[in-house]
Amino acid sequence: MNPVYYLYLAALLFTIGATGVLIRRNAIVVFMCVELMLNACNLAFVAFSRLHGNLDGQIIAFFTMVVAAAEVVVGLAIIVSLFRSRHSASVDDASLMKL
């Protein structure tokens, strides 16, 4: 099977993730979309690894997974504490950083 299809799939997943980040308000969903984008990247890395015939991409994918895991820990903690203080998980409610 042509590895290029994997790239198309990665691009599709990335676009879905980005769209979700931009248009959804629920922080959990936005978070899931970010994960989706990260996984799209991983898929692309692995596909490129296959295309170029070396292991660099696969190794990077591992790094990405580690970073994503750490990010999930921190991100979920933030969302939970935000929810506790505001009783809402909407990202638009946390709009205090404006002039």
Partner 1 sequence: MQNLIALLVAAPLLGAAVLLCGGRRLDRSGHLIGTLLAAVSFVIGVVLFSDLLGRGADDRTLNQHLFSWVPVGGFRADIAFQLDQLSMTFVLLISGVGTLIHIYSIGYMEHDERRRRFFGYLNLFLAAMLLLVLADNYLLLYVGWEGVGLASYLLIGFWQHKPSAATAAKKAFLVNRVGDLGLSIAIMLMFTTFGTFAFGPVLHSVGDAGEGRLTAIGLMLLLAACGKSAQVPLQSWLGDAMEGPTPVSALIHAATMVTAGVYLITRSGALFNAAPTAQLAVTVVGAVTLLFGAIVGCAKDDIKKALAGSTMSQIGYMVLAAGLGPIGYVFAIMHLVTHGFFKAGLFLGAGSVMHGMNDEVDMRRYGGLRKHMPVTFVTFGLGYLAIIGFPGLSGFFSKDKIIEAAFAKGGTEGWVLGGAALLGAAITAYYMTRVMIMTFFGAERWRNAATTSPDEPSAEPAAEHRGEHAEPHPHESPRSMTIPMIVLAFGSVFAGAFFGIGDRFLRWLEPVTGHQEGNSPVGAATVTIATMVLLVVGAGIAYLQYGRRPVPAVAPRGSLLTRAARRDLLQDDFNHVVLVRGGEHLTRSLVYVDHTLVDGVVNGTAASFGGLSGRLRRLQNGYARSYAVSMFGGAALIVAATLLMRAV
Q: Which residues bind partner 1 (CB under 8 A)?
A: 18, 21-23, 25, 91-92, 94-99
User: Which C-beta is closer to partner 1: that of 23 or that of 65?
Assistant: 23
User: Min. distance of Cβ 68 from partner 1 in angstroms?
Assistant: 18
> Which residue from 39, 41, 53 is spatially nearest to 3, judged by alpha carbons?
53
Closer residue to partner 1 in complex, CB, 37/43:
37
Instruction: State phi, psi for 26 to the nearest 5 degrees.
Output: -70, 125
Shortest Cβ 98–partner 1 spacing (Å) = 3
The residues, any chain, with a CB within 8 Å of residue 57's CB and separated by 6 or more, are 45, 46, 47, 48, 49, 50
